[in-house]
């Protein structure tokens, strides 16, 4: 897809009219910032690392230093990254649309650093670790951890209040999504008139089911992804392209006279 691509007129028309827009993002939206995705063929984290050894409650119980050190490496990667054109276009969109809800599966803070507010983080946030016992939040030290690719074994810090281990602030496989974020996300998807799913393989549930809610609500649904997903044939428009190119183009075409 080139920068000269024209945006489907259905998208421009629907977006100009839309009162309630939902944007669901996944790892692909941060890929152009240099943050690896999970399932891309060459570069996906789950191609190199074993999710069962790193992203489950039992993995943390079995080997807390391995898990903490891996997430510290991922946190360092995000701290060194900068928001890209996709994050900025999404933040810009919310200025034009009356009600815009941004839902992300990403655990980075690149949406916020691009200017988005009230982001619903379905899978937690790397910057918000907390005590595994009393759930008190833990304030991370300033600075970017200096770690080799893949991280290193690091003993997790201890909770000031109860002395138990601090765990990464992310949702692991087998855990529930944060209740308030999930309920808000469902409500927004049920009520929206336009829904974008960007940079997600749409294979992880329940997040992927938000697209089904929007389809059932008869919203105009748009997928932005350079690769095929299981939703190619069910969304209104599936745009094959990079989020950092397609999203700014959509904003420019829709509100060019604004
Ligand atoms: P995936 O790695 O599963 O999918 C990323 C998607 O982004 C793929 O479909 C790519 O084709 C697409 N992609 C890559 N580069 C892109 C670009 N520049 N623009 C647009 N799309 C691009 O990541 P998620 O769908 O976010 O959960 O994965 C969902 C969850 O699975 C994650 O939140 C994480 C993971 O296990 C937990 O850790 C709980």
Positions marked active-site = 123
Residue 72 scores a pLDDT above 70: yes
Residues 140, 125: Cα–Cα separation, whole Å: 13
Residue 49 scores a pLDDT above 80: yes
Distance 114 CA to ligand 1 centre (A): 19
Measured from the Cα of 105, ligand 1's closest atom is: 33
The secondary structure of residue 2, as a DSSP letter, is: -
Residues 141, 123: Cα–Cα separation, whole Å: 22
Q: Is the CB of 32 under 6 A from ligand 1?
A: yes
**What does the H/E/C string look like for 22-48?**
EEEECCHHHHCCCCCCCCCCCCCHHHH
Residue 26 scores a pLDDT above 60: yes
Strand bridging mode 20-25 / 194-198: parallel
Cα torsion angle, 88, 92, 94, 95, sign: positive
| Tens-digit pLDDT profile for residues 199-244 | 999 999 999 999 999 999 999 999 999 999 999 999 999 999 999 9
Residues 163, 159: Cα–Cα separation, whole Å: 5
DSSP 202-236: S-STTTTHHHHHHHHTT-EEEEE-SS--TTTTTSS
Q: Is the CB of 57 under 6 A from ligand 1?
A: no
pLDDT band at 258 (very low <50, low <70, confident <90, very high): low
Q: Would you state the pLDDT for residue 59?
A: 96
Token output for 104 = 């992300």
Q: Is the CB of 151 under 6 A from ligand 1?
A: no
pLDDT band at 5 (very low <50, low <70, confident <90, very high): low
Residue 154 scores a pLDDT above 60: yes
Q: Is the peptide bond before 209 cis (omega within 30 degrees of 0)?
A: no
Residues 133, 151: Cα–Cα separation, whole Å: 25
pLDDT band at 34 (very low <50, low <70, confident <90, very high): very high
Q: Would you state the pLDDT for residue 119?
A: 98
* Predicted TM-score (pTM) of this structure: 0.96
Arithmetic mean of pLDDT over the chain: 95
pLDDT band at 42 (very low <50, low <70, confident <90, very high): confident
Distance (Å) of CA 242 to CA 199, 207, 210, 246, 249: 8, 21, 21, 6, 11
pLDDT band at 100 (very low <50, low <70, confident <90, very high): very high
- Enumerate the β-bridge partners of residue 64: none
Q: Is the CB of 40 under 6 A from ligand 1?
A: yes
pLDDT band at 257 (very low <50, low <70, confident <90, very high): low
Measured from the Cα of 224, ligand 1's closest atom is: 20
Q: Would you state the pLDDT for residue 224?
A: 98
H runs (alpha helix) in the chain: 9-17, 28-31, 45-48, 51-54, 57-62, 64-80, 85-96, 110-113, 179-191, 209-216, 243-254
Backbone angles phi and psi of 217, in degrees to 5: -80, 5
Q: Would you state the pLDDT for residue 46?
A: 87
Side-chain half-sphere CA neighbours of 134 within 13 A: 10
Backbone angles phi and psi of 165, in degrees to 5: -75, 145
| Tens-digit pLDDT profile for residues 103-139 | 999 999 999 999 999 999 999 999 999 999 999 999 9
């Amino acid at each position: 897809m080139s920068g000269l691509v024209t945006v489907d007129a259905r998208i421009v028309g629907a977006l100009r009219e839309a009162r309630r827009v939902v944007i669901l993002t996944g790892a692909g939206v941060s890929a152009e910032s240099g943050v690896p995705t999970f399932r891309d063929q060459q570069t996906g984290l789950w191609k190199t690392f074993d999710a069962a050894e790193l992203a489950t409650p039992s993995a943390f119980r079995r080997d807390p230093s391995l898990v903490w050190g891996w997430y510290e490496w991922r946190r360092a990667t995000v701290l060194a990254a900068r928001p890209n054109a996709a994050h900025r276009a999404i933040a810009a969109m919310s200025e034009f649309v009356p009600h815009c809800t941004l839902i992300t599966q990403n655990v980075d803070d690149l949406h916020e650093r691009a200017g988005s507010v009230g982001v619903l983080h379905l899978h937690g946030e790397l910057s918000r670790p907390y005590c595994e016992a009393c759930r008190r939040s833990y304030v991370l030290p300033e600075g970017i951890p200096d770690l080799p690719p893949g991280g290193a074994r690091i003993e997790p810090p201890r909770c000031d209040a109860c002395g138990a281990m601090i765990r990464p602030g992310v949702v692991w496989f087998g855990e529930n999504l944060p209740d308030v974020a999930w309920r808000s996300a469902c409500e927004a998807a049920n009520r929206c008139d336009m829904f974008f799913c960007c940079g997600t393989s749409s294979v992880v549930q329940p997040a992927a089911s938000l697209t089904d809610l929007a389809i059932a609500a008869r919203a105009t649904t748009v997928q932005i992804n350079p690769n095929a997903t299981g939703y190619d044939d069910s969304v209104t428009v599936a745009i094959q392209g990079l989020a950092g190119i397609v999203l700014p183009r959509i904003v420019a075409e829709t509100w060019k006279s604004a």
